[in-house]
Structure 1
Amino acid sequence: MKCDQCNAQFDSKNKNFCPECGADLSEQREKESVRKKKAKKKTLILGIPILVVIAVITTFFFIGKGKFTPEKTLTAFEEAVEQEDTSRLASLLISTQDSFEITEDNVARFITYLKDNPAAYEELLSKLNSQVEIINSNSDGNNGTAYLDDVYGTVNITKSGKEWFLFDGYQLQVIPSFVKLNTKNKDVQLLINGEVAGKSDKEDFSDTYGPLMPGAYEVTASYKNDYSEVENTHVMELFNLGQDTMEQSFQLPLGEITVESLLDGYTLAVNGEKTDIQIEEGEQQIGTFPTDGSVAFSFHKEFPWGEVSSDEQAVESDYIGLDTVNALTPDMQTSIMEQLNTTISEYHQALTKKDTSIMKTGVTDNMKQSLVERQKEVEKEEPGYEGKLIQAIYDLEEISNPKFNEDMDAYTITMRAHYVFHEPVDSLGWLLADREKDEYTRPRELQLIYDEEAEQWKLDSYKNEYFIITSSDEKVFDL
């Protein structure tokens, strides 16, 4: 012990006074006790923060060690997919390409693909789990069969630097891919999932689009003009590809259509809808149309007696012929032939009774004058002539196609008929004769003119002409 008064060193055991100076040691011992207590308390106070810091660091380490693991990253991925949480999954993914932006829209498409394709989803999870094992088994974390080179349309889990300055970080990397679309046709729109990606500006067109998130994509080639449309759609699965680009080729059933027409002044209709395309006599190209039968052409023309239309023709090649259009409906044709039966009957009644005024049904002034001249000839050569029309046989091939006569400024029809007359006194000529019945058949060519003012077909000429009518083309009236 050391005396506070004289600094003498001595053994303080059983001593109450300093052996050198006689100072009272009890007061000194009391002060020493107080000093030791204060020192101990100070040491304790200083030690608490250190312990706290050690505890915080220890907690921080164990929290970080548990938080930043590849297993946690993979679990978060699975939860986001199962819950279809596009926002969370988008935050977990990064792209290996700067040009590829990860959005909630393309993440939603990725989730939909995984949900719709459970086998593909299981395949992806199996690969990611293998990658987690590799990460945990070595310091590199990017070696092993689970990290295949040149695999596109997929997701990998890899180390990504440090988190909280101490712990390894992990991220899910998207390896996007591209689609290459080819088409043989020009002016074809190319769409990916309904959105226009491009348009072919030439034949044998090809272009590449992307990068795209792994998943399934509808790719469509579509051609439209003012009158028709054709398209072709395929589904492309951009998942675990061995190359960065997947190709799809299109060859739409399109052709540059040529119409060869024997008729003039018709309007083209496509699937029953009229166009502004006018068809003239001869050969002309009318544009590009589908040739798969999905489009049908018909031809229409306005005549003074009404509009006429051809039958529809399905377009199945790049050539369409327009040869004949029945400008007169079957009912119109029958009405004309019945009117002619009346006119010819009146003609021969007039010759029999020598009264030209009898012929008045559907005739032109020219025809009336022709009857006057014919009556003079018959009266001179066959004064006792009697004749009655008993049968008319018309050639249907000659009635269906009226033509416009520039000189007459009117539509005309040239018809052919075999008329059978009962002529008991004298015959005015014959092709066939049944003398026992006094029945004579004469072939006649008739020209009719359409009178627009009267809205009626009128007989303009009636003359002999030798020809045969086949049974397939004839229409017979027994009178």
Structure 2
Amino acid sequence: MDFKFCTECGTKVPKHYRVCSNCGKQFANVQDSYEQRQGADASGGTTSPNLHEIKEPIVNNERSKKQASRSKKLTLTIGSILAALLLGGYYLGSTLTSKQKVIQKFDEALKEKDASMLVGIVDTTDPNIKISAENVFPFISYIEENSQNPTFSALEKAGFVNIHPSGKKWLLFDNYKINIKSFYPVISTNYDGTEIYINKKRVGKINRGEGKTFGPYLIGEYKLKALYKGKYATLDKEEVIDPKSINSKEIEVKFTLPENNLSIYSDEDDAFLFVNGKNTNQRIGEIDQFGPVVFDGSITIHAETEINGNVIKSNETTLVDEDFTNVGLIFDYQEDDPAENEVVTAGDVRESSEVVTTEEDLSSLNVEDEVKVIRAEYNSINKVLKNYNVNKLGASFTQYINDNGIIKKIVKKDNGVTTEYYFWDDGSLFFIFTTTAKPLENRYYFKNNQMIRWIDSDKRTIDINSGKVNQEYREWENFWVNQILSSID
């Protein structure tokens, strides 16, 4: 049997087939070839296939053709569906990762105060920050408190955020994230061993003059606290970092804690300082600055020294007024036998004369300014007290006199319970300070021998401009002025 090959699909088929048994392609001149083959058989040639053998392939080929058509349609349908799915998926993917979608999610997270949602769409350029719900909270908190309608657009204008490409998502789509600005606080203080807290979390210790860097932190509102715990005082101060003030990667924060230090002087530099009855083992002459201390009445200081085998104590001072940081611890002792000296009592002094002061119109006086002048003069006298001539009138009354013979200060003790300090400038009384063992303290300020302010033991302030000047005030004024001016005679 002769064969031929289909020119469409290359299938080997009997030469007399009119169509390809594989793909259904029709062959040319099949009929002519068949008739010629029938004539050859009649003349005694090769036997031809019978009619049934010819028709059977034709039927099969028609069926194959229909099946092929169905297959093509199915393939086209499936291809169209896949193409639609791919196009739809690509569009959906690109939409989900677009700038607009990320900004929309960012605005929604701020509105809902959703830290976990924010974590998935924000980052920072600082590799030392790992984005978490904890470190984005100060950012959310600040936005919540300072913006009625927080949006990406508004925060971008403020310089707090920006949006940028962040790699690929699903290997196909550009991914975007919102960058939050970050910063480093550089903190310094004026006390060694100061503890630093940021948003109530202790982050470390720093020393005086040391600028220490903390962070980094995402931009937001941060409350910083410096805490110093000393032997005689606990000092603290807080500062708030406003994001609007952050103009660079680092922001400097200086904590200047109160300089609650004392300048202590005495007429015995070798005497030891005692605080609340306990020896500090520090000699007065070796102390430059003592502290820090608190002025809440919880600290009382005095000095002790040994003279002729006897331990002598200075006056005691209770710290209640931070305006008076120069403290004199003076020893009131007699080298000679007190019995051999003439003792002048307070009663003797008061009875020596009666002084009547002339009143001036001080209603227009700026009392606050005058008080500042008085305090400055008070400090200047105490600083050079050791240079004055000391005139002791008994064990309880001491005068400090300058080289011109002018009394600058008097210290008077009453039964070891009350101590009174009087100060003069150019012969005029300007300040009286009294303290008792409780302690109860009173402060009296004078101008031209007239009282202009009185701060009593309850820390109530009465001055000539307060509207509280009454008979009680005038009685105190007359009593003290007459008492002290009489003591000079």
How far, CA to CA, are the matches of 2:152 and 2:72 in structure 1?
A: 59
Cα distance, 1:279–1:183 mapped onto 2, change above 3 Å: closer
Query: Do the aligned partners of 2:184 and 2:217 also contact (CA within 8 Å) in 1?
Result: yes
Q: Which of the numbers 68, 71, 76 marks the counterpart of 1:42?
A: 71
Residue equivalent to 2:465: none
Report the aligned-residue RMSD.
Answer: 4.4
1:175 maps to a residue whose letter is K
Q: Which of the numbers 196, 221, 227 marks the counterpart of 1:222?
A: 227
Q: Which of the numbers 245, 264, 268 marks the counterpart of 2:275?
A: 268
Query: Is 1:81 aligned with 2:83?
Result: no
Cα distance, 1:109–1:96 mapped onto 2, change above 3 Å: same
How far, CA to CA, are the matches of 1:181 and 1:209 in structure 2?
A: 8
Cα distance, 1:288–1:301 mapped onto 2, change above 3 Å: closer
Q: CA deviation at 1:81?
A: 2.2
Q: Which of the numbers 312, 318, 327 marks the counterpart of 1:320?
A: 327
Matched position secondary structure for 2:226: strand
Residue equivalent to 1:246: 251
1:400 maps to a residue whose letter is N
Matched position secondary structure for 1:222: strand
Cα distance, 1:116–1:42 mapped onto 2, change above 3 Å: same
Cα distance, 1:19–1:87 mapped onto 2, change above 3 Å: same
Q: Which of the numbers 82, 85, 97 marks the counterpart of 1:53?
A: 82
Residue equivalent to 1:66: 95
Q: CA deviation at 1:117?
A: 1.1
TM-score (normalizing by structure 1): 0.52
Query: Do the aligned partners of 1:227 and 1:275 also contact (CA within 8 Å) in 2?
Result: no
Residue equivalent to 1:457: none
1:233 maps to a residue whose letter is E
How far, CA to CA, are the matches of 1:229 and 1:98 in structure 2?
A: 38
How far, CA to CA, are the matches of 1:398 and 1:31 in structure 2?
A: 138
Query: Do the aligned partners of 2:297 and 2:318 also contact (CA within 8 Å) in 1?
Result: no
Q: CA deviation at 1:280?
A: 7.4
How far, CA to CA, are the matches of 1:123 and 1:38 in structure 2?
A: 62
2:238 maps to a residue whose letter is T
2:415 maps to a residue whose letter is S
Query: Do the aligned partners of 2:184 and 2:249 also contact (CA within 8 Å) in 1?
Result: yes
Residue equivalent to 1:208: 213
Cα distance, 1:217–1:294 mapped onto 2, change above 3 Å: farther
Q: CA deviation at 1:318?
A: 4.2
Cα deviation code 1:137-189 (max 9, x no counterpart): xxxxxxxxx6x9xx6xx221111222222221111122211222233444433
Higher mean alpha-carbon deviation, 43-52 vs 103-112, is at 43-52
Matched position secondary structure for 1:159: strand
1:65 maps to a residue whose letter is S
Equivalent residues in 2 for 1:446-461 (5 A)? Answer: none
Query: Do the aligned partners of 2:224 and 2:241 also contact (CA within 8 Å) in 1?
Result: yes
Query: Is 1:116 aligned with 2:145?
Result: yes
How far, CA to CA, are the matches of 1:170 and 1:294 in structure 2?
A: 59
2:132 maps to a residue whose letter is T
Matched position secondary structure for 1:205: coil
Q: Which of the numbers 373, 395, 400 marks the counterpart of 2:415?
A: 400
Cα distance, 1:295–1:183 mapped onto 2, change above 3 Å: farther
Q: CA deviation at 1:252?
A: 1.9
Matched position secondary structure for 1:99: coil
Query: Is 1:166 aligned with 2:172?
Result: yes
How far, CA to CA, are the matches of 1:310 and 1:251 in structure 2?
A: 27
Cα deviation code 1:191-218 (max 9, x no counterpart): 322333443333x332222211111111
Q: Which of the numbers 183, 187, 205 marks the counterpart of 1:181?
A: 187
Q: CA deviation at 1:55?
A: 2.9
Cα distance, 1:191–1:40 mapped onto 2, change above 3 Å: same
1:41 maps to a residue whose letter is R
Q: CA deviation at 1:275?
A: 5.6
Cα deviation code 1:40-85 (max 9, x no counterpart): 2332344444334323312211221221111111122122222222
How far, CA to CA, are the matches of 2:283 and 2:176 in structure 1?
A: 74
How far, CA to CA, are the matches of 2:120 and 2:180 in structure 1?
A: 12
How far, CA to CA, are the matches of 1:200 and 1:67 in structure 2?
A: 48
Q: CA deviation at 1:92?
A: 1.8
Cα distance, 1:280–1:400 mapped onto 2, change above 3 Å: farther
Query: Do the aligned partners of 2:221 and 2:242 also contact (CA within 8 Å) in 1?
Result: yes
How far, CA to CA, are the matches of 1:86 and 1:214 in structure 2?
A: 15
Q: CA deviation at 1:249?
A: 2.0
How far, CA to CA, are the matches of 1:215 and 1:186 in structure 2?
A: 29
How far, CA to CA, are the matches of 1:301 and 1:288 in structure 2?
A: 16
How far, CA to CA, are the matches of 1:266 and 1:42 in structure 2?
A: 109
2:299 maps to a residue whose letter is F
Query: Do the aligned partners of 2:273 and 2:279 also contact (CA within 8 Å) in 1?
Result: no
2:216 maps to a residue whose letter is P
Query: Do the aligned partners of 1:296 and 1:315 also contact (CA within 8 Å) in 2?
Result: no
Residue equivalent to 1:288: 291
TM-score (normalizing by structure 2): 0.51
Query: Do the aligned partners of 2:102 and 2:177 also contact (CA within 8 Å) in 1?
Result: yes
Matched position secondary structure for 1:289: coil
Cα distance, 1:107–1:276 mapped onto 2, change above 3 Å: farther
Query: Is 1:103 aligned with 2:132?
Result: yes
Query: Is 1:233 aligned with 2:238?
Result: yes
Query: Do the aligned partners of 1:297 and 1:315 also contact (CA within 8 Å) in 2?
Result: no
How far, CA to CA, are the matches of 2:414 and 2:245 in structure 1?
A: 70
Query: Do the aligned partners of 2:302 and 2:329 also contact (CA within 8 Å) in 1?
Result: no
Q: Which of the numbers 280, 287, 297 marks the counterpart of 2:299?
A: 297
How far, CA to CA, are the matches of 1:259 and 1:221 in structure 2?
A: 27
Cα distance, 1:275–1:250 mapped onto 2, change above 3 Å: farther
Cα distance, 1:190–1:228 mapped onto 2, change above 3 Å: same
Query: Do the aligned partners of 2:273 and 2:282 also contact (CA within 8 Å) in 1?
Result: yes
Cα distance, 1:206–1:266 mapped onto 2, change above 3 Å: closer
Equivalent residues in 2 for 1:433-452 (5 A)? Answer: none
Cα distance, 1:311–1:244 mapped onto 2, change above 3 Å: closer
